[in-house]
Amino acid sequence: MQSSRELLGDLWTSAGGDPAALGALTLSGDEPQLPSSFRVAAAAQVSIAASGMAAAEIWKLRSGEDQSVSVDMRHALVECRSERYLRVDDKPPPPAWDAIAGVYKTGDGRFVRLHTNFPHHRAAVCKVLDCKATRDDVQAALMHWEAQAFETAAYAAGGVVAMMRSYDEWSATSHAKALAQLPLITIEKIGEAAPKPWPKGDRPLAGIRVLDLSRVIAGPVAGRTLAAHGADVMLVSGPDLPAIPWLSIDNGRGKISSFVELKSEQGRATMRELLAEADIFSQGYRPRALAALGFAPEDAARINPGIVYATLSAYGHAGPWAERRGFDSLVQTATGFNHAEGRASGIDGPKELPAQMLDHATGYFMAFGAMMAKARQAREGGSWHVRVSLAQTGRWLWNLGRLTDGLQTPDFSGDEVSSFLEEMASGYGALHAVTPSAILSKTPARWERPSMPLGSHPPRWPVSA
């Protein structure tokens, strides 16, 4: 079983990192840290350390200065559960799930998981089942369905659900076989452009402009990470797009927050103006959705040669499920994690990982890939496309191996978490929130902008110093 350092070394060099940089890295802590048969602690530490090392490498390119990077395993795991530990004016999070979200049995004795936190997803499920939005009504209706038939019908109607599969069942699908041919992170050149010089600044990403078109956890975590290293990150949403407020608060730290209505020509014109002055375009929408509006990777490279375009998807860009919507909990269910954790803990049914690890790790990998592509752009030019997915991160996590007695590990107590929290002001009230766990010796990660309600700022880049 590879150590965190070995795993990070493989990831770092595969993305073009200088192996010598690994000499300035310190990784502390031991597995297991949380109750799981999977190596969630290693996944947290490696993904966050990768993003920290990329920031340190960019600082070296900009300043000529080396610095050390250290990541404590427990702090990394706490950061990968940041939404749990956020407090607003000392108030804890509201319930994380909609009333009918969660696990149900179907008529063929199998299990399905529903994700209904967005109203249109809940409506789609109720339409397919022809039932009221109560747990009892949903369960009664599902007893008339086979799991896979319901999964197919719900997706066709615009819902997001998953049938629980074993790892062997998932691996036998044509989609899993397509993913097995892909790397964890894809970084590819998609156009010619001159190298862009680094702007002046005293932080790794100072003066770097990032458009963040994402919601929920993975994409927003990528943007939050880039902001922590000094980037001007503009979160672009729409006044009519559904959001999960608690996650918007947690992942809005460090960001400008603007509304742009991409369904209008005026809004698309505004987006083209923003894109023309951006360095990184980070998005978590289904590819065809943005392509139809004129913002596919190739469009972005035409509007702004030299752009780094980062794409997040649920199930990856190859295979029959490439267009399928999904969230961490559903990808865990579909790809074998819930089945395996349930078996390991002796229960008949799904058991979740103790963190939304596919979301968080993918977010850090997305930031890492974007920074490594940006460094390549500065050295050799070109426009670049970075692709990550929850399913591909899941495949990587599965292949890290299993922990025999991992489920016997106790969860964290409040005292074990408190040292990783800080208080900060926000547009929502006083926040207690998790601090960055990647510790850079010369350019410490921090958020200079407070988290603000969606749409608080005009869609204009700040004036460069």
- Bin 145: left if φ > 0, else alpha if -120 < ψ < 50, else beta: beta
Q: Rounded to whole angstroms, how far apart are CA atoms 22 and 9?
A: 7
pLDDT band at 117 (very low <50, low <70, confident <90, very high): confident
- What does pTM read for this prediction? 0.97
Has residue 235 got a pLDDT over 80? Answer: yes
Bond into 32 cis (ω within 30): yes
Q: Calculate the alpha carbon distances from 431 to 221, 434, 452 in Å.
A: 17, 10, 11
d(CA 92, CA 85): 8
Strand order in the sheet with 308-313: 186-191, 383-389, 308-313, 280-283, 209-213, 232-237, 255-259
In degrees and rounded to multiples of 5, residue 55 shows phi and psi of: -65, -40
Cβ proximity of 364 and 150 under 8 Å: no
pLDDT tens profile 312-358: 999 999 999 998 889 999 999 999 999 999 999 999 899 999 999 99
Mean pLDDT of 82-111: 94
Tell me the CB-side half-sphere exposure of residue 430, using CA atoms within 13 A: 6
- To the nearest 10°, the Cα dihedral for 386, 391, 397, 402? -170
CA-closest candidate to residue 34, choices 418, 447, 403, 445:
403
Could you tell me the strand order of the sheet in which 111-114 lies? 102-105, 111-114, 161-163
Residue 287 has pLDDT above 80, yes or no: no
Pairing relationship of beta strands 431-434 and 421-424 according to DSSP bridges: antiparallel
Which of 88, 205, 197 shows the shortest CA–CA distance to 445? 205
Model confidence at 303: pLDDT above 60: yes
Percentage above 70 pLDDT, the chain: 99
- Strand order of the β-sheet with 25-28 is 25-28, 69-72, 438-440
Q: Give residues with Cβ within 8 angstroms of 124, minimum separation 6.
A: 154, 157, 158, 159
Q: How far apart are the two ends of the chain, measured CA to CA in Å? A: 48
Asked whether the predicted pLDDT for residue 463 surpasses 90, the reply is: no
- Nearest Cα to 425, choosing from 457, 456, 452, 444? 452
What integer is the mean pLDDT of 441-448?
98
> How many angstroms from the chain centroid is the CA of residue 190?
23
Q: Looking only at Cα atoms, what is the longest distance across the chain?
A: 65
